[in-house]
Structure 1
Amino acid sequence: MEFKGVSHTFRTKGKRVEAVRDVSFRLDEGEVFGFVGPNGAGKSTTIKIMLDIINDYQGQVTLYGSDAHRAEARRGMAYVPEAPALYDQFTPLEILRMGLSMYGIDRSDSEAWCMQWLERFSIAEYAKRRIRHLSKGNVQRTALAHAMAVQPRLLVLDEPLSGLDPVGRKDVVDILNDYKQQGGAIFFTSHVLHDVERIADRFGFINKGQLLTVRSPRELAAERADHFVVRYQAGQPLGQSCVALRPGEYESEMAQHELPNAIAYLNNTGGHLLAIQPAISLESVFFRILAEAT
């Protein structure tokens, strides 16, 4: 999949709004691309362009070599929106079997196949319960199982972890990792930056419709690799780059060569070292890029 110089403008309340501006990126087979940005940044608009829901844009979008305006370009693609609108009178099992039918997939073991996916998403016990009676998290799991059951070539997910508890998020991240290992491509947006960091091969940072940068985990790791965040208890903070978390507990960023002296100081003054973590993370890069863009 490739976006080349894609822009889209719409009008609301008499104002001209540039939803995305000159966006260009590429997603290769077997790659996971995390699309990160604040609310209103252009993430969902980008997905709608990809799906040809929005088709009055400038620039070019191709899916596996075909123009995205052509319906056949989206064969082998599955999409899960942030708030799936499933037929609430159906059951999860019926939703998945309907999905196979819509994709033209004829399996003699269709029920067993669908139950296998419901089991993987830990909702097999609700297989024959009406969607209207399920929690938001279980509806989200049903939509994700529906997408995976058709064995897509490209999986497009808009906030796939929304509404899931921590156990559910871990289950979904593990399933997506398995899909990636089997060669599937994933384009997804998420506000849960830690989970994005766990599975994405590259990250695109978008703000106010502009794609600010695209980076890989290796590139993130190379930034300030010799700096660490130290959390500790002490009578007074260490150094200038310090945040008071609560009375007597602090967090300071330090260069690697400063760590031995800081630890020795804590030991000699009755302080306590609580944690040492790398200073760089997807979250820290995200906020720094946003600050630089304003």
Structure 2
Amino acid sequence: MTHHVIRLQGIGKTYRGKLGRRTEALSDIDLSIVEGEAFGFIGQNGAGKSTTIKIITGGVTATRGEAWVFDRPVHDHRARQGLAYVPENPLLYGYLTPYEVVSMGARLCGVTSADAKAHTMRWLERFDLGAVAHKPIRSFSKGMTQRTALAHALACRPRLLILDEPLSGLDPIGRKEVVEILQEYHEGGGTLFFSSHVLFDVERLADRFGLIHHGRMRAVKSLQELSGQDPRYRVLVESGRAPDGFEPERPGRWRGEIAASAMWRVLDEVRALGGRVVEVRSVLSLEQAFVDFIRREEEGAVQPA
């Protein structure tokens, strides 16, 4: 039986601005996230990603529609049991230390452990914060503060982890490490809902992507479905002779771009030539799929989800 962790039905949000003017931030958002899924929420700045997340977490009330988490209305405080949320700019008390934030959070969430100190330090070290566990957060960079908030969230052992721009402020090494930790969480059965502008780093995390544009959900698809094309790969091989359709890169090395359906044929041909595969890389990226989708929509070639 499929268990829906998040359900949104007809969600709309209208803000009243100066002089009584109304701004529609969201319109008719329908979405269902099942248990164990990793869902990437993408869109341009101001598209409505953060507003949607705030409605799911109970921070903002929808003007229209219904929202449920764990089959409870989001206005019911019990809907947030088992949910951990990290905003784009987490506000942590500067006089506290990472150890105090994480250990206190775990206790408040009812996490029991034979060794609470070891549990706290394990998560701090996982986010490379062990050496600064007892230093005040006020002295931290944005990236260190972000890692502290992520350690706090995961130390609570959430069933659902909601992240708004989780890689914000992290350097390339930090982004890679956080993506790996989130992969482990997902592979362990956790449900992940996240928004991000760092599309290259997070495309491997999500099972599906939701594309929101001007406050409307335009598509909920896999990467291949979003792109509207079959997966293609760049293949680099070393061989005495070029496989069919490949071009020379340098003597003895050949490159080609092939469809996924042709992969086994090419690999068999390379083996028959006595060669070896050096690299296989996906041509399709989430960033390119996103840009192409928006362009097709503006040209009128895409129907809303």
Q: TM-score, normalised by structure 2?
A: 0.79
The equivalent residue for 2:99 is 93
Aligned-pair CA distance for 1:135: 1.5
**Identical-residue share of aligned pairs (%):** 45
Q: Is the 8 A contact 1:140 1:163 kept in 2?
A: yes
Alpha-carbon displacement from aligned partner over 1:82-127 (angstroms, at most 9, x marks no partner): 0110000000000011102222334442111100000111110010
2:108 paired with 1:102 = yes
- Greater than 6 Å deviation, 4+ residue runs: 227-230, 272-275
Q: Is the 8 A contact 1:228 1:279 kept in 2?
A: yes
Structure 2: runs of 5 or more not aligned? 1-5, 237-243, 258-280, 299-305
1:80–1:160 contact (8 Å) kept in structure 2: yes
What's the RMSD between the two structures over aligned residues? 2.5
Matched with 2:296 is 292
- Work out whether residues 220 and 280 of structure 1, in 8 Å CA contact, stay in contact via their aligned partners in 2: no
Gaps (5+ residues) in structure 1? 231-258
Whether 2:53 is the aligned partner of 1:53: answer no
Using the TM superposition, give the Cα deviation of residue 280 of structure 1 relative to its aligned residue in structure 2, in angstroms: 2.7
Deviation, 1:129, is: 0.5
Residues 1:104 and 1:194: Cα distance change in structure 2 (over 3 Å):
same
Match of residue 172 from structure 2:
166
Deviation of 1:145 (Å): 0.2
Q: 1:227 to 1:129 in 2, by over 3 A?
A: closer
Q: Match of 1:20?
A: 26
Answer whether contact 1:6 1:60 (CA < 8 A) is retained: yes
Q: Give the aligned length.
A: 261
Partner of 1:199: 205
Residue in structure 1 matched with residue 144 of structure 2 by the alignment? 138
**Correspondence for 1:2:** 7
2:245 match:
260
Letter in 2 for 1:141: R
Give the drift of 1:128: 0.3
Deviates most, 9-18 or 186-195: 9-18
The residue type paired with residue 260 of structure 1 is G
> In the TM superposition, what is the alpha-carbon distance from 1:226 to its structure 2 partner?
5.2
Deviates further, 213-222 or 121-130: 213-222
- Superposed, which structure 2 residues align to 1:175-214 within 5 Å? 175-214=181-220
TM-fit CA distance, 1:293: 3.2
Mean alpha-carbon deviation: is it higher for 172-181 or for 98-107?
Answer: 98-107
Alignment of 1:211-222 (within 5 A): 211-220=217-226
